[in-house]
Amino acid sequence: MVDKPGQQDRRQTNRRDGLLQQTALLIAAGLITRLLGFVYRILLARSIGAEGLGLYQMVFPILVLFLDMTTLSLPVTLSKTVAEAYAQHRPDWAATYLRVALRLTLGLGITFALSLYLAKDLIVGRLLADPRAEAPLLVSLPMLLVMAVGAVLQGYFRGIQRMVPLAAAQIVEQMARIAVGLSAAHAFIAAGIQYAAAGASLGTLTGEAVSTAFLAMLFWRIRSSFLPIRRSSLGASAALSQLLQISIPVTLSKLTDALAAAIQPMIITQALLAAQYAVREATAAYGRLAAMALPLVTFPTVITYALAMSLVPAVSQRAARQDATGMIAASTQTLRGVLLIGLPVTAVLYTLAEPLCQLVYGTMEAANLMQILSIGGLFLYLSTPSAAILQGAGYASLPFYVSVAQAILSLALTPVLVRSFSLGIEGAAWAQVIGMVVGGLANCIAVARRIGLRLGAKETARLFLPAGVLFLVLQLLAGCLQGFSLPIFVLVALFIGGLVYLASVLAFHSLSRSEWFALPWVGAWLKRLLS
């Protein structure tokens, strides 16, 4: 059937607005959970200190590595396969994908949980060089089974475009985590700092369990509307084969990042010990880097992660229709949006590092590390959505190669910068920055070459100039507001900086009129105002 004039444009606009609305919903939930998470870290840091956070953070990367091997990137894979199944009017296929994914992840979860338990002495005694990490490790083991089910349910809800349950589950998870984690850490601290760290791990486990139970309850209510009773025409082996074809490249990329994150505390602590740090001093230094400075710099990834989750099925649909123009438009719009958000965030994190650290953690010990990491922050923010674009377009192997190169470079540079250049923990931060720059640039270059971008020099300048103005204004405000109390100083600087950045975006025409109207919530208000 031939489209009427303007009909195709209206469909494309609706798809774009739908993508923006879904992304905005996930971003809103992510921001709420991140804010709750920061409150949790503030209270936890003041309760168990940098040493306790260091013990908790040492175990977490190892757990993430095994979680990635258990879940096999099924939230991404199922969102793609389930969406395609319903688009082809085959709900029985979606049911098969769901059942096969559950069986696979539960089997892997049991296997890896037992493996971690048997290897606990090797991990905490030799690899982490701190036997006190055993308590938080053992408490975290059941999370492999809980998150195996949770990952499958998340992928299914994304596939059927139900973002409200996912957003609500994030908030429920964080609230349970905070309540149990703080209570347990406070109750166990008298027994030793390692048990306080185990209490924080118990909070994380409880949050995941509550979130998974919440999604399971919602799934049980809607199952009859989306899953058929009739026998599926897709066999289990065929479904498993299709799932693995998509998930293996994505999983390898995530495993590379998780493996690097798991090895990183070992390399950093060993390098610090070789640089004449004491054991407790090295643990505290790593805590300042990984549990204080890095969470502030990675805060905007809540936005890039939401973009990535929405981009994979959106780009996949355009690729299936061989809509090259649509893929280029989606890629350009996404990366422009990341720059408009990431550039001002980088300026704020660099110029206000000391007051932000003092306000959040009650100390400025991590401020210099935060400034260093903020230099690579923009490239970190670009990396995830650009990788999602490549995965959706069928180039999932490219982000994997980039992840390997980035991990090898960062890990290799860490001992060199820590010991040979005598930079201490700052050397470890610089090694991460170099890896962020390489990873972000490589993914963006791959998107430009494989898919294409409509981002010229003039348009790029319009994106960078407002951030430059913001940086200068924040530097000026830092000198003018010294007499104010810390909370007032930060709030006034952020408020004035935000107004200046918004005015600069308008002055330099960084967003077109149609892009302003397409913004969730804000666009509808602007349309009513101008009409």
- Percent of the chain at pLDDT > 70 equals 88
Q: Is the pLDDT of residue 531 over 70?
A: no
pLDDT of the residue at 518: 61
pLDDT of the residue at 468: 92
The whole-angstrom separation of Cα 506 and Cα 531 is: 19
- CB of 206 within 8 A of CB of 177? yes
Q: Is the pLDDT of residue 374 over 90?
A: yes
The whole-angstrom separation of Cα 151 and Cα 470 is: 40
- CB of 505 within 8 A of CB of 511? yes
pLDDT of the residue at 350: 93
At 235, is the pLDDT very low, low, confident or very high (cuts 50, 70, 90)? confident
- Minimal CA–CA distance to 299: which of 19, 510, 27, 22? 27
DSSP string for residues in 46-113: HHHHHHHHHHHHHHHHHHHHHHHHHHTTHHHHHHHHHHHHHHTT-HHHHHHHHHHHHHHHHHHHHHHH
pLDDT of the residue at 129: 67
- CB of 260 within 8 A of CB of 410? yes
pLDDT of the residue at 230: 63
pLDDT of the residue at 9: 43
Q: Region 81-105: what's the mean pLDDT?
A: 82
Q: Tell me which range, 83-97, 222-236, 370-384, 407-421, is most confidently predicted by mean pLDDT.
A: 370-384
Q: Is the pLDDT of residue 526 over 70?
A: no
pLDDT of the residue at 56: 80
Q: How many angstroms separate the Cα of 318 from the Cα of each of 85, 97, 250, 447?
A: 16, 22, 19, 15
Q: Is the pLDDT of residue 76 over 80?
A: no
- Minimal CA–CA distance to 178: which of 362, 36, 57? 36
Residue 235 token pair: 């066999």
**Mean pLDDT over the full length of the chain:** 82
pLDDT of the residue at 23: 67
Tell me the per-residue pLDDT of 259-299, one tens digit each, with 9 for 90 and over.
787 788 888 888 888 888 888 888 888 888 888 888 889 88
pLDDT of the residue at 116: 87
At 1, is the pLDDT very low, low, confident or very high (cuts 50, 70, 90)? very low
Give me Rg for the CA atoms of the chain: 23
- Minimal CA–CA distance to 271: which of 65, 45, 431? 431
The whole-angstrom separation of Cα 122 and Cα 137 is: 12
Altogether, the residues listed in the chain come to a count of 531
pLDDT of the residue at 22: 65
pLDDT of the residue at 530: 62
Q: Region 177-189: what's the mean pLDDT?
A: 88
Tell me the per-residue pLDDT of 12-70, one tens digit each, with 9 for 90 and over.
444 444 556 666 777 777 778 878 887 887 788 778 877 787 788 778 778 877 887 88
56-70, 138-152, 181-195, 334-348: segment of lowest average pLDDT: 56-70
pLDDT of the residue at 486: 84
Q: Is the pLDDT of residue 187 over 50?
A: yes
Q: Region 446-468: what's the mean pLDDT?
A: 86
147-151, 321-325, 492-496: segment of lowest average pLDDT: 321-325
H, E, C per residue of 35-62: HHHHHHHHHHHHHHHHHHHHHHHHHHHH
The whole-angstrom separation of Cα 196 and Cα 353 is: 28
The whole-angstrom separation of Cα 140 and Cα 177 is: 13
Residue carrying structure tokens 């350009």: 332
Query: Which helix (DSSP H) or strand (DSSP E) does residue 491 occupy?
Result: helix 486-507
Q: Region 313-335: what's the mean pLDDT?
A: 76
Q: Is the pLDDT of residue 166 over 60?
A: yes
